[in-house]
Structure 1
């Protein structure tokens, strides 16, 4: 329990009025100062009683696009044998705050409140702890109590409705180089992972299930499905932070459309991150989690990382998301490895230079870039 800033100002003013009234022989000033002083003491007395409740807060869903609200549910229970006076509960997430007014609770009563939390910054945000506080009607004093557990919220990049690049990319030769990996059969085993609702029961991996004690499934993919790779420019000096966020949103939109179509989808960054996936809802979540945490970093001045120079994992379509004024001549040699290459030039500038065999799309942001993409692929 402590006075607020307003309460402190009123207290100092009250003391000055009492002192000046006493020195000047002005009983009216002394009386006014005494009234103000009494108001501050009364506010302190009103808020002195602590807030004794049991609170439980849950947030759903635990993953959300930036700028989209999540629903929080707050349960408040009064375990005492006497009535609990009204108070306020403030929840914080990602630099934003939401205050809920809790009504008076009878003894052993419980109430549930719902509210929304909106976070505009991509990343992993910590929700809570809750701050319970009681204040007087004039805002002169407050009693605050942090309580409850914190929750982690994954704030994904914003996605715009993009079209998936349809049509498989079969093996073919380009100037003597095979641009797609050799096919190994009708289905490839890419991973063994924990079962999630929606997985086919026939893909259960019984040996892994017996070993781990949890249902495990085979992550299978058709090697003849289209392959889609996005290279995101994460060099610190390549673009401004606002333009980089647009680039991340564009990357999320394209990869989201690709994985939802079940395509082999791969995220590569110039800082060295390499996340290949077989497509599907689980792959989409994996890629969005990675994009949730990606930052502009790396000391290498090269746009193309070593991962794209490897002998495995190439083929299909490559999309490069970089700055409008970036130097992209280093991409020319990738034409031998990918059947189709698109270069997105994001932000203001003269536009990226021409790349032999690649199509350059200039866009001022993610939404504009997705519109250009949809127009190009039909």
Structure 2
């Protein structure tokens, strides 16, 4: 808890001293009275704000994950646990360099009050909410008592998700000449991962060896090998897109990946900076993908559009979508045809026309909304 004079209080105190001195030495009763009033006002402000702020404060953010531009609220609960009445105060909360001030009403002993205020969600990212600070000031704003309180919360602002269709095609397991282009089939299902048991999982999928090793109930995460697979490559090179254009590219990536994951298809996010996030699809995968896209940032210009992790894989099948800019040199992608059944390149850039790219179908669009509309036309 910190109590100090405000800028106004310091100015009044500085003015009070010379008024008293000159009024006393010069025999000016008016100056002496003005100085005395100013000094008494400062002392009274200190006495008023010296009393400690003894309240319990809890702040909740809901929902803690929102789409960019959607509503997010903070709920502030203030309780007076003491036997004395707590006077009014101000609460200041912070998010991303901005502050929100809430006026706390006086609280009777044992009373509790709740306050709601909106949080800004215009910028994508993982934003800390807080710290929360309580302020008590005198009526003239000469002195303030500050008490940092409450825990720092986190607000995840996900990219926009535009309605997107899922590509109506699977991935061929063989090349035109009969050579395999994907992993070998071993039965009707493939083991994707071993994870901790969640309510609703089938008991027959329990992995007993992993359970014995970890001490927690573990299950096999299985996928249908004939299920369509969707891979999206996001261009994160700093010289490919301007900041506002990169946000549009992230919106496109979120829209297509979420559509594929919600449809139950294995969805994989890859970036030029080296992020490689494969998911088995389903609702849990959508949160995992959106959390990753929430934090993705542009990197240096030295990165290659196609990262080594994607280029080195012998084959992953399904559909590959690259999201980049129409303003950069687009490389030929025919060398990836033996890894993917179909390749699309979404080139973003207002007023720019994307040229043909060997080995890929190019969709040129000025922004995310237009890009997703074009995708829906070819995917349906």
Shared fold by TM > 0.5? Answer: yes
1:287 CA displacement: 1.5
Q: Secondary structure at the match of 1:318?
A: strand
Residue 167 of structure 2 is matched in structure 1 by 165
Residue 48 of structure 1 is matched in structure 2 by 50
The answer on whether the counterparts of 2:129 and 2:152 sit within 8 Å (CA) in structure 1 is: yes
Q: Secondary structure at the match of 1:336?
A: coil
What stretches of structure 2 of length at least 5 have no aligned partner?
A: none
Match of 2:299 among 297, 300, 305: 297
Give per-residue Cα distances to partners, 1:152-209, cap 9 Å, x unaligned: 3333222222222223223242477644444333211101112345545554444444
Give per-residue Cα distances to partners, 1:14-66, cap 9 Å, x unaligned: 55666676788765455445444443433333222121112222333333323
Q: Secondary structure at the match of 1:69?
A: coil
Residue 67 of structure 1 is matched in structure 2 by 69
Match of 1:245 among 247, 250, 273: 247
1:297 CA displacement: 1.9
User: Separation in 2 of the partners of 1:16 and 1:342?
Assistant: 78
Pairwise CA RMSD of aligned residues? 2.8
Q: Secondary structure at the match of 1:371?
A: helix
Match of 1:353 among 352, 355, 366: 355
1:269 CA displacement: 0.9
User: Separation in 2 of the partners of 1:348 and 1:26?
Assistant: 74
Q: Secondary structure at the match of 2:78?
A: strand
Residue 84 of structure 1 is matched in structure 2 by 86
Q: Identify if the C-alpha distance between structure 1 residues 223 and 313 changes in structure 2 by more than 3 Å, giving closer, same or farther.
A: same
Q: Identify if the C-alpha distance between structure 1 residues 275 and 33 changes in structure 2 by more than 3 Å, giving closer, same or farther.
A: same
TM-score (norm 2): 0.88
Residue 272 of structure 2 is matched in structure 1 by 270
Give per-residue Cα distances to partners, 1:237-269, cap 9 Å, x unaligned: 222222212211211111011100011111111
Residue 153 of structure 1 is matched in structure 2 by 155
Residue 318 of structure 1 is matched in structure 2 by 320
Q: Secondary structure at the match of 1:297?
A: coil
User: Separation in 1 of the partners of 2:294 and 2:59?
Assistant: 24
Match of 1:224 among 226, 234, 237: 226
Matched, 1:373 2:358: no
Give per-residue Cα distances to partners, 1:200-232, cap 9 Å, x unaligned: 555444444454344433211111111111111
Structure 1 residues 280-289 or 54-63, which shifts more? 54-63
- What is the aligned length? 378
Give per-residue Cα distances to partners, 1:50-108, cap 9 Å, x unaligned: 21112222333333323333333333222222111121222223323332222222223
User: Separation in 1 of the partners of 2:309 and 2:46?
Assistant: 64
What stretches of structure 1 of length at least 5 have no aligned partner?
A: none
User: Separation in 1 of the partners of 2:374 and 2:26?
Assistant: 78
1:374 CA displacement: 2.0
